[in-house]
Structure 1
């Protein structure tokens, strides 16, 4: 009781405070791609340098700009991720380290959903200028999917030929119970730099145990997350959900029935919003899929669907897994 009373006083005294955002500069440059010693970076309008991993097809038929998930970075598209495989199918992949993650500036801090979306838009525009005659797609997994959706609601969205959303993070404030809302809101103002981990939650993000162990050893994968960064992520997820009704490009939505990170109801609601808005959306539901679909043990089935969907007018995916009922994405399932 004393703790709650103290928390109330602290919140009352700091109510005007806001969670910390990463310091970023004003736009002063034209964004550009730089290649130095075979290392590619995207230089943003404020001068921030965002590392890229490029998986170059010998004779590309399409290009994908790829956005990683929360606390991860561009290496998530390396083996056992889809980058090398897609390149072998004629699809070049440009995977970016988003601000606050990997080798990008401000690791562990939150840049804000607008800034992250602007970075993604700049990356797409740079890639399209390099490949003016090829279709360009924006792929996002989890948090990256939310950023991709938010990107398309910018005042000047990039020109993309489609969005590929793998387990997009769309369960923001509206999907959170009141107790968690209050705790997160208060904590982000009282103890914003306090870090939390997922230890003890007994959540299985993938059935690829070897890959998960490698993530645990990777020093660039964030293991403990600031409270104000989590707060920013929830804001982003809200923005992504709102964006679902305003997507005017084709969408491939990928979801696993065993996803324990992003629950089915908000994903299903976002899908319903897309369909009501008349978005051309194809859905694949993987009964044995976990959250990290692109790196699960059954990952190549997902990759094949992505490769077939890119640049194709056909509606049937190679997996044939277009029945959304097993994933609980149908409104009647909630």
Structure 2
């Protein structure tokens, strides 16, 4: 059978959950609800940050970027997924699959890097409180965020182009609900050491190095926390770091499972639900995680809502 490569074009078939048709209506409703929750809650955080000057600090600047990123990430996946879930046609064009792959990788890589930047911010807040505003100068924060976006965007074209030229030997049926690296590895007919090295390098650059920064940051934070004797100090550290650590655990746990496991250990059904978790569910939970223990955001939300009600009454 001839190799189905980039030059041949053609549509792809995204099987998604078509092997379990009884679940498709339930999954489609759940995906739509989580998507709406993601867009509305993350948009609310962006608006509150813009309207409340008291939130113009490095931590909320990074959180706003994370919220915008999560909206972009889910939007690159969900619309096509809903189209496939709601109808019998499971096709996606070659160009559509390439763009979905490109943006999913780009936004996923940026999130890994941005979470590492936020870990450094936690370190500066806890371990260097007196010099925090000097270390986390607004210009420095903007440069770190810009570097995260540019690094992800810089790697996406090469990764996407290389992956789409891998030999598929006529295979164009993807047993997943969107186009991403693990999904393509399932249809590669010649899994070579070059591909192994490619996946390993990607894992190191975009997963392990940012995770290493996060672990180092929290190791230093833990060492500093052990020296704190007051309950108030402990509570302050917990409020500063707990939300970020929870988000990191959810995102990195599922991403590492998907991207760093051996090809032979892929389990199609498990992989689909893990992908569903970190592309759709986690982005909808991030705003909730950050607002549950954050009094500043709660107060800002109340102020914005209260102001809108007053304006409506007038």
Q: Which has the higher strand share?
A: 1
Higher RCO, 1 or 2 (CA under 8 Å, sep at least 6)? Answer: 2
- Tell me if both proteins adopt one fold, taking TM over 0.5 as the criterion: no
Max radius of gyration: which structure? 2
